[in-house]
Amino acid sequence: MPLLAGVLTVALTATGCVTVHGEREILPAVDRAEAPKILKRFTDGYNEAYRKLDPNVISRVEAGPLAEIGHADMRTQNAITPGGNPKYPPLVLDDARFTVPRQAGWPKFFLADTRSNRDRNRWFVVFLRGGVKEPWKATYLSILTPAKVPAFAKDKDGYAEAVPVAKGEDPKLATAPAAVSGAYTDYLRTGEGKVFAPGPRTSLLREERDKLRRTPTFWTEFIDTPEKAPGFPAPALRTEDGGALVFFTAHHRERRTMAEGLRPQLTDPRTKALLTGELKRSVTYTRVSESAVKVPAKGAGGQAVFLNRLEAVTAVKGA
């Protein structure tokens, strides 16, 4: 893949090459002409991976939480259709609208707001690149109804604003992007805090968990782990109202221990494909979630609202 604008520019001088470093210069994260090619490379790789059920192809075009989901899906799909799925209906992402921020430093990212042939929603794909020698990979996917698509702040040249724009926390937001994952997992654990608005992914999720904590046949322990850069960065884009759209990752473990004399049972072949260990008394599910939340500006009132949250089981362990 050719080097992209916003990473390195090289000028010849009488003494050799002088490098302008993308980690210091504030430049567009990607050349606008290159962005459609990166999206096509992703969709081509995605479709190839699901035809061949090859996790190596997933690794080539995806990273972060999206890659974790893809790798687990390869295992479960292989359990159902070993040898591949040549009749897999290809994913088509068209009508792409690219939101490109000006950035200094790594990772760099941009957003592809696309139309999918799977439904009538908008599919938001966030592409990240960790360094000049690394390829662009799809790291976050969020599925939004057209009514939920936010309006991004743009400069006179049409470029978006990444948050934070420099080192340190952003003073304009109610919650810094890097702190959103920790605030979410703290809330799931304690039910305390005012960062997030009530809803299906917050208060109602806790209510669903409470029903499972102790039942006549099993009891459940929940462990939620926040994630952050460099492994799981939280890219964010400023919106016109001064807030931001933040993408973040969290991991969740759910351990179910059976009552005396009972053994856990798995009937879903997809789930069984992820199983390690022996089902004697307990089973632990590991999940990854990737979310898109709208964080308000500091002093604007209101709370962070989930626009989308995708969660998938990535491992199952019996004990």
Predicted local confidence at residue 171, as pLDDT: 85
Predicted local confidence at residue 81, as pLDDT: 92
User: For 129-161, what is each residue's pLDDT tens digit?
Assistant: 999 999 999 999 999 999 999 999 999 999 999
State mean pLDDT over 18-39: 80
Q: Dump the DSSP string for 111-161.
A: EEEEEESSSSSEEEEEEEE-STTS--EEEEEEEE-GGGPPPBPB-TTS-EE
Comparing CA positions, the residue from 295, 299, 25 lying closest to residue 177 is 295
Q: Dump the DSSP string for 22-88.
A: TTTS-EESS-TTTHHHHHHHHHHHHHHHHHHT-HHHHHHHB-HHHHHHHHHHHHHHHHHSTT--TTP
Joined together, the tokens standing for residue 125 give: 């794909």
CB neighbour list of residue 319: distance below 8 Å, 6 or more residues apart: 277, 278, 280, 281, 282, 283, 284
Joined together, the tokens standing for residue 162 give: 């990444």
The structural domains of the chain, ordered by start, are 1-149 (3.10.450), 162-319 (no CATH)
Predicted local confidence at residue 24, as pLDDT: 65
Alpha carbon distance, N-terminus to C-terminus of the chain:
46
Predicted local confidence at residue 9, as pLDDT: 30
User: For 234-255, what is each residue's pLDDT tens digit?
Assistant: 999 999 999 999 999 999 999 9
State mean pLDDT over 54-75: 98
Taking a C-beta distance cutoff of 8 angstroms, is the pair 316, 279 a contact? no
Residue 8: pLDDT over 90: no
Q: How many angstroms from the chain centroid is the CA of residue 259?
A: 36
Predicted local confidence at residue 167, as pLDDT: 58
State mean pLDDT over 211-218: 97
Joined together, the tokens standing for residue 241 give: 């109202």
